[in-house]
Structures are given as C-alpha cells and as structure tokens.
Amino acid sequence: MQALNLPSYEFRTTDREGKRQIYDPLRQSYVRLTPEEWVRQHFVQYLIQELDAPAGLVATEASFKFQGQPWRADIVVYDRHGDPLLLVECKAPDVSINQDTFDQGARYNLVLDAPFLVVTNGQAHYACLIDTDAGTYDFLDDLPPYETLLTDASSF
C-alpha cells in the first residue's frame, strides 16, 4: 500500500479468498483492504494515538440516514455525551481533494451536525471548524487534540 502523510502504524492483515484484509479494531473484524480503507485505518490510529481520542468514542462506517437513504460516514468521533464531534471523510490516496469531495463530507455533516469536519486522502488533510448557526466554517492549520476539540466545540 502507498505511503501516507500520516505516522506509520502496525496493522494486522491477512488474505482471505484471494483478497487482502486489514483488521479494524473498532469494528473488531477484518475488512477488505482497499486504498480508502488504508487511509481510514491510518486516520483512526492518528486520532486515537496522536490526538488522544478515546477509542470507545470513535466509530468507522457509522450509519445514518440522508434524504431517506442509508449512508455511512467513514469516521465519526463523538463527545462524551454521544453527540458527533468530528466527521472524517476519507478518500483513496489517488483521489484528489476538490470541491466535490469536500461537499460530500459537508452534506453528511448536515445530518450529523458535528462542529469539526476533516476530508483526507492520506496525503492532504483539510480540517475545519463549522458554525452551523452562522452557516460559516474556518479552516484549521492542524487538527487539535481531542480535549481541545471538546473545548472549541463548546464555545458555540
């Protein structure tokens, strides 16, 4: 798999029926190792190991309804009350982050209403703080640690 612009982590992988799989510790199962899953698993570890997000408050492939249809968010980090705090939309490394990919995450966030949104392809990462009441967002230079996310989100 392609090197990413994220720290390196150890992952458990296996081959099943000729397909490479990676262990997702949050779903507690092996899932197909696609380029997008490679980014997702790295970003999950980044959130937990580098930004101190509690693993029990991080979900991958979180289900929700959007316009009456079932959808799945790549990663959702929740606050301690179970409300969405951060939505992460992951793309494969060869998918460029453009307005369409950013808009996909923003559409999902209309439902989830998380104050933070990240769109990443493992090479480029765009994070923003969203003020849904004002209908504005501010891009962040870096995604802060979990505790800071909580503090910044409570200022709204």
- Determine the pLDDT at residue 46: 97
Domains of the chain: 13-153 (3.90.1570.30)
- The answer to whether the CB of 33 falls within 8 A of the CB of 21 is yes
The gap from C-alpha 63 to its chain's centroid, in whole angstroms, comes to 13
Interacting residues of 23 by C-beta distance below 8 A, sequence separation 6+ = 11, 12, 13, 14, 29, 30, 31
Q: How confident is the model at residue 78 (pLDDT cuts 50, 70, 90)?
A: very high
Q: Is the pLDDT of residue 130 over 90?
A: no
Mean pLDDT across 97-102? 87
